Structures are given as C-alpha cells and as structure tokens.
C-alpha cells in the first residue's frame, strides 16, 4: 500500500519516540494485514486483533508504541477455511510459516510473511517504502475447549505427551518428519471439539496446556465484531473488547512499558545477517571526526556583505558624479539603478513588509529623489572652469545627495548590519510545537528578524531520488495546518547564502540519513552551518524519561540521536539532565570515547516551561460520574463496546450520566466523543443503537457538544481538555501522559 508521508514521520507517542525506521516496519506488516483482510472479507472468514495488537487497537488506535509486531487470532473453523484458500489467494511472493513448512517453527500458530527472503531489488524497494526485510502477521488459533475440566486436562496431558516425544526429533534433521507427525497428532487432538459442543474457546498452546480451561473465554465474545482504528487502517475486534482485555490484563489502560516479547525491532536480526553476508554496513550515517570541525561561516554572498559592497560602490559613483563628468547623466542613472537594485534585493531577502526593509527602501528612495532633483538643477558650467573649481561646484550641487547617502549608511547599519536574523526550519505543524518557546523569545527581540521556513518532507527512493511535482512539494509543507499569525517564508525562495542567519533552529535529525524521507538538500544541517553562526537542534517533542534498562527507547535513540542533525549542530537542547546523559552515552558509543567531552559541551538542558513527560494516574469509576469540581472542560468518551457489554438498556444508563452533567450546569463544559466513529459500527449491526438520538437531543439542549477526533490527534486533544471520563480508548494514555485526570467510566454505576 502506498502510505502517506505523514505515516512515516518520526513522532513521540505517549512519551515514546518512534523513528521512521520503525514506521517502515509497521507499514510492511500492515501491508500483510491488509492482504489477509482482503482474503477474509472475500471468503467470509472471521479474524480479530489479538494480544498486543488488540491492546494497541483499543488503547492507542494502532501499535503499542514500543511494539512492532502484529498479532491476530482466528477460531479453529475460520482458520481452517483460511488455510484452504490462502495458498491460492496470497500474492506469489508471500509465504506461510508453520511447523510443516518452516524450519525451527515449532509453534502452533501460522505466520503470513511478505517474502521468502530479504529483497534489495530496487524495483521491490521502490514499491515497499525502501524496506527490504521480511515482515509478517502471526495468526493465533483459538480452539474449542471441553467445558468439563477433567476432559480438558486429559486432552492437554495427551497433547503434552506428543510434544515431549517430538522434542527427541526436533534437532535431528533426518528425523524432522517424525517431529512433524507428532505435531500433527497434537494439533488434531486440539481441534477435536466442535463449535456446537462448547461455549469456551482458548489458545491451547501454551496457555490452556499450562492452566486448563480456566483461562478459556466465552465464545460469545467472538460473535460480533467492530472495526477499530489501527494506524491508517482498521482492524476487527470483538465488540465486547473491554470485557476481553480486562480479563487478560486487568487495568489495561495503565501504561506499563515492559518488554518481554520478541527481539525489538524484528528486522534488526535480519539486518545484521545481511551485513555479515555482504561484509558491508547498512547504516546510512557513519561518523567521521571531520564532522565536528567547524569552519567560519561563509558570509561572502550574504545581504550584509552585498550591502557593504553596494554602499561602497554608491560612494564611489557619487564621488564621480560630484566631479561633473561629461557622461554625468549616465553616471547618475547607474547610481540610481544601483540604489534600486539594492532596495529590491533587500525586499527579496528581508521581505517587503518588514519595518527594517521599509526603512532601508525609504532611505534609498530619498537618496534617488535628491540625486535626481539636484541633477536636473545643474546649469551650464564654464567650459574653462578649473578642475578644482569644478569639483567644488559639483560637491555643492550634490550636497543633498551626499547627506541622503550618509542617511542611507546610517539606516543600513541600523536595519541590516546591526540586526540579527534567526531562522526556524520546520518539517511539519506538529513538530513546530517544539520550536514555539524559542520562536516567542526570538520575536520579542526588536533587533531580530525572524524567519519561519516550513520545509516539504518528501519520500525518496532507496537510491535517494525524489519524484514529486511542485504541487506535491507544496502540499508536503502542510502549510495550511501551521499556526496562524506567523509570516511564513517559501523554502524555494529562501536563499540561505543571502540570508546567512546568525542562528538556525532545526528539528530534523536525519538530512540524507532517513531511510525513507528527506528535505531539500540546501537545508541539510551540514549545508546550513556553512552560512550560519550557530545551528541549534531541538527534538520534535519531549519523551518520557529514559532509564538504562529502557532498551527499546535506547535502541531508537540510535536512529534519531546518532544522526546528522545532532552531530552537525552547535547546540542540542534536551529536556532534562537524565536525557542529556542518555544522549552523551549513545553518541559516545557511536563516535568514540574521545568525543565524550564534545557531546557534554554541545548538549544542554533547556530551561523548560514544562517538565518532563509524566505518567498520569488512571482511575476506575466505582462511585459516581464526573471528574472533580475543578474541571472546566471535560471530554466524555463512549466506546462502541458499551452497548455490546451492557446487559440492559445502555440508553437508560447513559441518560443517568447525562443527568449529572445537566446538574453541573455552567461549571462543566462537556464534549462527547464516540469511539470509534459510527462509520466503524459492527458489521451488520448498529453499534450505538438509539444513543445517538439521545446525544443529539442533549446537544440541542446545550448540555453537551458532540465532537469527533482521530486517535492520531490524541495528544492534541488531551491538551485541549482538562480531564477525561468514559470508556477505554486511544485518548486515555494521551491524557495520562499530560498528567491530567483520567477516570474510566462504569456506566452501570
């Protein structure tokens, strides 16, 4: 699937930094999911998100940020239907891994994989977001369990016996067929209970084998489904997903970044294998100590240098004009043209409407006016006048022009030479937020010219080529989504060699090292610092504090910290002493111990207006509705699971909650969000029933407003409200990370 540029952006989600490299892996796995989805829809096969994918679908609207695999499940009968059609329906390059087909795959699950081997073919990479590695979706099988515990235990014991015998053959290639036969026998035993014979289902290997049918689930959980947002697509979930997740995880809305699954990320092992086979590094950015060498910025082509040259030439030409040469009119015309060109250049560089530009242009215009008036006032002079007398007469004749040129010199000094320019190079509206406090500081200085240049973030091929039209590049700047009230400059018209700003703020760490995205090369940090006195790197957002045991965070730092923007910058601002320590550690490991002092000096802890990301507490509503007397703006979320899990009339329960909101009166501004949008109702049913009518009626009374929002905007939404109340959703962790009150509703109370 051809995913949008925005999908591949670095982002910080729930305090966790997700770089483009991980987004590539996500995209590859989602492509496999969508292929499975098409087959299942075509053949009427049910499947559901499972394990971490189910948790991510509900709690994050996509992947759990610190996860990168994708799990689904099928009931045994649906799985058998899938296997009957999969070989025919899957694309030719796809393969299925199971214990029969894949070496060392001694598991009772199937994995649908996008290729049989890593592929570095350019045509393949061009259509797969430059991702050469194998990516797949795990399909867990839910079998029907014996409701009689003794029967289930007997079956489980027999299955365990088959597996124990198979262990004797697994490591012997010549006896592999015997191991496969034993696994087949075990799987046949697992599948022996028919759907109509039991109300319980479960994943027999390994959970039921360990715990019996006590870990089984009621098969009614899987009777109805609802599609929840999942990244840029949707995924089926049991309509009673809250019930399912609570049984498995307890308080599953609480953020617990515990990693005990597969190696993260899943492609790193493949990358190392390819490096060993090829003898070449696949890293796109390799450190060289010359990168730390800082030359003086080149100001030779800057407006300030050109202004000095123009003024010197104007002085020379006026001196010639004061000598009343034979071609006086031509010299005056040349002088006026030079002044006009200088004014035009100032307008082009600084902008026509800036006060400093207007001051310079007005002074130049006054000079040209004086020059023209005095030139026209000159009468015939005696041809035999002595040269000294002629010179004195010329000075007298152009005295006003001389005074006007002196004024130009003073105005240019004040409005060009003595002014500082600060440039902000932003790669997107969301990322712009990290610049805001620095921007406010810059614009508050009356002697500083501030330029904001939104850069287009562009997809590139594996070889680095960009194939985008001017219109597509304009769209890629996302200018319409930036804050209003800022004078934005067009990147194509901003010549950094002409501006030669004193300070440049960047938050794009990659330059050419991003595996999928890029910006115009003239704005790479390496090129920017050729003309700027100071380049300052600011991360796109704060993360949660990172400890030495946060392996996934530290791995990802290898993508966005050991990158050109950080290495080439003169200053790197981070949120805390702890994060500085992590940066120094990662950079020193990357560049060598002798560079440690350089990173210690370069990386600085900013004076943050807001502290580090916090983990807010999540409460369960077990007494009454509402979220405290100090709440001004309350977001109430109603999940599609609520009507499905309600034993009676959910509409009546909702009315009870709305009555509390009515009684709150002006003390509370309530927005109601349905999650997901009614467009994703359970297939063949109405997820929300008559509660939509109730909400619309209540909205007309002015008690609430009905809103909608994408899970991708969860962080923005959390900043707009004071507290959260309602169902589990992707908005819960966003409020928790903001440190704002969150109460998970029990609508039955």
Give the pLDDT confidence of 587-603 residue by residue, as tens digits: 999 999 999 999 999 99
Q: Round the average pLDDT of the chain to a whole number and report it.
A: 90
pLDDT digits (tens, 9 = 90+) for 147-156: 999 999 999 9
CA distances from 505 to 113, 230, 424, 508 (A): 42, 34, 5, 10
In DSSP terms, 669 is beta-bridged to: 633
* pLDDT of amino acid 616: 45
Please give the Cα distance from 482 to 292 (Å, whole number). 33
Give the pLDDT score at 609. Answer: 41
Reduced 3-state DSSP string for 614-672: CCCCEEECCCCCCCCCCCCEEEEEEECHHHHHCCCCHHHHHHHHHHHHHHHHHHCEEEE
State yes or no: pLDDT of 375 exceeds 60.
Answer: yes
Whole-number pLDDT of residue 407:
97
Cα separation, 646 vs 84, whole angstroms? 37
User: What confidence category does residue 182 fall into, taking pLDDT thresholds of 50, 70 and 90?
Assistant: very high
User: Read out DSSP for 306-356?
Assistant: HHHHHHHHHHHHHHHHHT--TTHHHHHHHHHHHHHHHHHHHHHHH-TTSHH
With a cut of 50, say whether residue 370 has pLDDT above it. yes
Three-class DSSP labels, 72-110: EEEEHHHHHHHHHHHHHHCCCCCEEECCCCCCCCCCCEE
pLDDT level of residue 258 (50, 70, 90 thresholds): low
State how far the alpha carbon of 6 is from the alpha carbons of 10, 103, 492, 567, 689, in Å: 9, 38, 21, 25, 35
Q: What is the pLDDT of residue 468?
A: 86
pTM: 0.91
Q: Is pLDDT of 569 > 70? A: yes
- Per-residue pLDDT band at 386 (split at 50, 70, 90): low
Residue 682's pLDDT is what?
59
Of the pLDDT bands very low, low, confident and very high (cuts 50, 70, 90), residue 685 is low
Q: What is the 3-state secondary structure (H, E, C) of 150-214?
A: HHHHHHHHHHHHHHHHHHHHHCCHHHHHHHHHHHHHHHHHHCCCCHHHCCEEECHHHHHHHHHHH
pLDDT exceeds cutoff 60 at 257:
yes
pLDDT attached to residue 562: 97
pLDDT of 715 above 70:
yes
pLDDT band at 665 (very low <50, low <70, confident <90, very high): low
pLDDT for res 391: 77
Q: How far apart, in whole angstroms, are the C-alpha atoms of residue 157 and residue 162? A: 9
SS3 496: helix
pLDDT digits (tens, 9 = 90+) for 284-336: 899 999 999 999 999 999 999 999 999 999 999 999 999 999 899 999 999 99
Please, are residues 119 and 18 in contact by the beta-carbon 8 Å criterion?
no
| pLDDT, position 625 | 37
Do 48 and 238 touch, CB atoms closer than 8 A?
Answer: yes
Supply the pLDDT for residue 380.
Answer: 52
Note the Cα 717 to chain centre separation in Å: 16
Q: Would you state the pLDDT for residue 104?
A: 86
Instruction: Work out whether strand 48-49 and strand 71-75 pair parallel, antiparallel, or are unpaired.
Output: antiparallel
Instruction: State pLDDT tens for residues 400-424.
Output: 999 999 999 999 999 999 999 999 9
Query: For residues 469 and 209, what is the distance between their CA atoms, to the nearest angstrom?
Result: 58
**pLDDT reported for residue 413:** 97
- Above pLDDT 70, what percent of the chain? 93
pLDDT at 683: 60
CB atoms near residue 100 (< 10 Å):
12
pLDDT beyond 60 at 614 = no
Q: What is the pLDDT of residues 264-282, one digit of tens each?
A: 999 999 999 999 988 888 8
Q: What is the pLDDT of residue 615?
A: 42
What's the pLDDT at 681?
61
Q: Which one has a higher pLDDT value, 646 or 188?
A: 188
Minimal CA–CA distance to 729: which of 14, 52, 60, 15? 60
pLDDT score recorded for residue 1: 67
Q: Which residue has the higher pLDDT, 220 or 172?
A: 220
> Does 507 have pLDDT greater than 60?
yes
DSSP reduced 3-state for 488 = strand
Among 271-280, 347-356, 516-525, 683-692, the least confident range: 683-692
Q: Give me the torsion for CA of 421, 422, 425, 429, rounded to 10°.
A: -120
Residue 626: which pLDDT band, with cuts at 50, 70 and 90? very low
Give the integer Cα–Cα distance in Å for 307 and 10: 41
Query: Which of the residue ranges 25-39, 563-577, 724-738 would you say has the lowest mean pLDDT?
Result: 724-738
């Amino acid at each position: 699937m051809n995913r949008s540029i925005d999908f591949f952006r670095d982002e910080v989600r729930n305090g966790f930094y997700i770089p483009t490299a991980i987004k590539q892996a996500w995209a590859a796995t989602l492509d496999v999911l969508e292929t499975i989805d098409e087959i299942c829809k075509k053949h009427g096969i049910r499947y559901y998100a499972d394990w971490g994918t189910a948790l991510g679908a509900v709690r994050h609207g996509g992947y759990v940020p610190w996860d990168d695999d994708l799990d689904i499940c099928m009931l045994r009968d649906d799985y058998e239907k899938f296997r009957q059609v999969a070989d025919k329906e899957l694309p030719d390059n796809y393969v299925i891994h199971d214990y029969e087909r894949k070496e060392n795959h001694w598991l009772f699950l199937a994995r649908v994989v996008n290729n049989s081997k890593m592929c570095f073919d350019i045509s393949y990479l061009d259509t797969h977001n430059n991702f050469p590695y194998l990516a797949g979706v795990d399909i867990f099988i839910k079998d029907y369990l014996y409701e009689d515990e003794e029967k289930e235990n007997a079956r489980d014991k027999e299955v365990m016996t088959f597996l124990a015998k198979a262990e004797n053959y697994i490591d012997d290639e010549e006896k592999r067929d015997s191991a496969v036969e034993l696994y087949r026998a075990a799987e046949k035993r697992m599948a022996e209970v028919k759907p109509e014979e039991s109300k319980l289902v479960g994943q027999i290997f390994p959970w039921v084998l360990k715990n019996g049918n006590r870990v089984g689930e009621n098969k009614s959980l899987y009777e109805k489904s609802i599609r929840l947002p999942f990244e840029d697509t949707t995924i089926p979930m049991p309509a009673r997903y809250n019930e399912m997740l609570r049984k498995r995880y307890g308080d599953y809305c609480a953020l617990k970044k515990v990693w005990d699954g597969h190696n993260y990320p899943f492609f790193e092992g493949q990358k190392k294998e390819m490096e060993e086979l090829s003898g070449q590094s696949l890293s796109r950015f390799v450190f060289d100590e010359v990168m730390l060498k800082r030359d003086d910025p080149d100001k030779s082509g800057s407006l300030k240098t050109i202004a000095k040259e123009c003024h010197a030439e104007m002085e020379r030409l006026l001196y010639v004009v004061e000598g009343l040469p034979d071609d006086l009119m031509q010299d005056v015309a040349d002088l006026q043209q030079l002044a006009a060109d200088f004014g035009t250049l100032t307008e082009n560089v600084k902008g026509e409407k800036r006060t400093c530009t207007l001051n310079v242009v007005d002074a130049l215009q006054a000079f040209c006016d004086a020059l023209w008036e005095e030139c026209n006032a000159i009468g015939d002079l005696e041809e035999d006048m002595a040269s000294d007398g002629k010179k004195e007469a010329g000075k007298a004749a152009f005295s006003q022009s001389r005074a006007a040129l002196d004024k130009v010199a003073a105005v240019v000094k004040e409005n060009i030479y003595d002014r500082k320019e600060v440039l902000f190079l932003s790669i997107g509206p969301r990322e712009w937020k990290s610049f805001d406090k620095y921007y406010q500081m810059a614009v508050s200085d009356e002697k500083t010219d501030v330029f904001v240049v939104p850069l287009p973030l562009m997809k590139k091929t594996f070889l680095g080529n960009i194939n985008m039209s001017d219109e597509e590049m304009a769209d890629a700047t996302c200018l319409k989504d930036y804050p209003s009230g800022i004078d934005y400059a067009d990147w194509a018209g901003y010549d950094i060699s002409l501006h030669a700003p004193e300070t440049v703020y960047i938050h794009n760490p990659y330059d050419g090292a991003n595996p999928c995205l890029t910006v115009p090369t003239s704005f790479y940090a390496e090129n920017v610092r050729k003309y700027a006195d100071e380049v300052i790197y600011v991360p796109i957002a704060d993360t949660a504090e990172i400890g030495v045991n946060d392996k996934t965070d530290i791995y990802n730092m290898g993508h966005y910290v050991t990158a050109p923007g950080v290495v080439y910058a003169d200053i790197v601002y981070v949120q805390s002493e702890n994060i500085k320590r992590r940066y120094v550690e990662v950079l020193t490991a990357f560049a060598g111990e002798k560079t440690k002092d350089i990173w210690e000096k370069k990386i600085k802890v900013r004076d943050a207006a807001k502290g580090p990301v916090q983990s807010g507490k999540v409460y369960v509503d077990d007494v009454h509705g509402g979220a405290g007397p100090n709440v001004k703006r309350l977001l109430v979320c109603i999940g599609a699971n609520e009507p499905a899990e309600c034993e009676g009339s959910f509409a009546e329960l909702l009315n009870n909650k709305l009555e509390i909101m009515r009684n709150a009166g002006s003390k509370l501004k309530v927005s109601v969000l349905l999650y997901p949008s009614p467009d994703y109702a359970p297939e063949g049913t109405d997820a929300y029933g008559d509660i939509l009518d109730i909400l619309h009626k209540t909205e007309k009374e002015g008690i609430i407003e009905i809103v909608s929002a994408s899970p991708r905007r969860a962080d923005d939404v959390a900043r707009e409200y004071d507290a959260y109340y309602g169902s589990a959703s992707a908005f819960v962790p966003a409020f928790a990370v903001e440190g704002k009150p969150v109460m998970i509703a029990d609508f039955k109370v």
